[in-house]
Amino acid sequence: MAACGEIFYMDDKKTVVVTGGASGIGEATAHRFARAGWQVVIGDINEARGEKVATQIGEAGGACVYVKLDVRAADAVQEFAETVYLQCDRVDALVNSGGILQNAVRTIDLDMDEFDQIFAVNVRGTMLVNQVFGRHMIAAGAGSIVNMCSLTTFRASPQPAYAPGKAAIKSMTETLAAELGPKGVRVNAVAPGYVLTPAMQARIDEGKRDPGAVIERTAMGRFVRASEVAEVIYFLCSEGASAVTGTTIPVDCGWLVSTAYGAYASQIEDAT
């Protein structure tokens, strides 16, 4: 492995950049790509966690570095990309997993400072990263981008900042797919259901999420695992998805279909 300052680069390996890679789905995604032999660059605002994940991947035999990133700031995103491309000839895949959650609140009671913060990270941050790395991928004539949507992309939710933001990311994904496709760049998104990440567990522990209600409303009767979302993300960046672009794939243990079906379930006999 050739060392290049704080970043590594190997010509025979593919490179993936994972924003929000210090925890949750982003962390699981970083591990998934590393196990497949990709070299991984984690961008995250949490230095301690980012460095820990990079170290864990390295100890497991993978190639991973952490670079601090605040997706809210255009200058920071540009500097992050310059750091990566200064020492890596190409980025084969970009996974935008950086984001923050929101607890339930009625729209008329929403604190607009919270709205601005969520949009700054989830929507504007995703756009900034897509713009900067998208330009480089256009120049290279190849690349794959995966954005992070949510079940709230498709259903109403008492999260009046988070949900509209995730709907915006679906639209962003489709627009980018149309614009970048002729340049050889694919753009897709995943829409995770209720994933038992540390952030979700913290909300359960605080009494802000009801795990029983979540499980009851899924077809498979359980939470999604972060590793399962990572598998779909990896697929979308692989040659196996070479004809897939502009799509948003739910990874939700059947929550979307179960909640719709449940409106009529009392009218039929249980098939079991």
pLDDT of residue 268: 62
With vertex at residue 244, the alpha carbon angle to CA 97 and CA 159, rounded to the nearest 5 degrees, is: 35
Identify whether 162 is a catalytic site residue.
Answer: yes
Residue 40 CA to residue 1 CA, distance in Å, equals 13
What CATH number is associated with residue 19? 3.40.50.720
Residue 103 inside a domain? The answer is yes
In this prediction the pTM is 0.92
Average pLDDT, the chain: 92
What's the N-to-C CA distance of the chain in angstroms?
56
Has residue 109 got a pLDDT over 80?
Answer: yes
Give the residue-averaged pLDDT of 97-116.
96
Residue-by-residue DSSP string for 202-254: HHHHTTSS-HHHHHHTSTTSSPBPHHHHHHHHHHHHSGGGTT--S-EEEESTT
Q: How far is C-alpha 191 from the geometric centre of its chain's CA atoms?
A: 9
User: Which residues on adjacent β-strands are paired with residue 94?
Assistant: 17, 145
Residue 162 CA to residue 149 CA, distance in Å, equals 10
Residue 129 inside a domain? The answer is yes
Residue 72 inside a domain? The answer is yes
Give the residue-averaged pLDDT of 222-238.
97
Q: Which residue has the tokens 């038992």?
A: 196
Give the number of other Cβ atoms within 10 Å of residue 244's Cβ: 15
Please pick, among 9, 162, 194, 234, the residue that the annotation labels catalytic: 162
Q: How far is C-alpha 217 from the geometric centre of its chain's CA atoms?
A: 23
CA dihedral 38, 43, 48, 53 (to 10 degrees): -20
Dump pLDDT digits (tens) for 32-88: 999 999 999 999 999 999 999 999 999 999 999 999 999 999 999 999 999 999 988
Domain count, the chain: 1
Residue 272 inside a domain? The answer is no
Q: Which amino acid is at 236?
A: L
User: Which residues on adjacent β-strands are paired with residue 84?
Assistant: none
pLDDT bucket at 207, cuts 50 / 70 / 90: confident
Give the residue-averaged pLDDT of 228-253.
98
What percent of the chain lies above the pLDDT cut of 70? 94
Residue 13 inside a domain? The answer is yes
Residue ranges making up the domain that contains 89: 2-265
Residue 270 inside a domain? The answer is no
In angstroms and rounded to an integer, the radius of gyration of the C-alpha atoms of the chain is 19
pLDDT bucket at 204, cuts 50 / 70 / 90: confident
pLDDT of residue 77: 98
Residues 6 or more apart from 85 whose CB is under 8 A from it? 91, 136
How far is residue 152 from each of residues 73, 93, 144, 167, measured CA to CA in Å?
25, 25, 24, 7
Query: CB pairs under 8 A, 24+ apart, for 152-159?
Result: 153/191, 153/248, 154/191, 154/250, 154/256, 155/256, 155/259, 158/104, 158/105, 158/106, 159/102, 159/103, 159/104, 159/105
pLDDT bucket at 96, cuts 50 / 70 / 90: very high
Has residue 1 got a pLDDT over 50?
Answer: no
Give the residue-averaged pLDDT of 173-190.
98
pLDDT bucket at 26, cuts 50 / 70 / 90: very high
Has residue 3 got a pLDDT over 90?
Answer: no
Residue 271 inside a domain? The answer is no
Residue 231 inside a domain? The answer is yes
Q: Are 99 and 121 in contact (CB under 8 A)?
A: yes
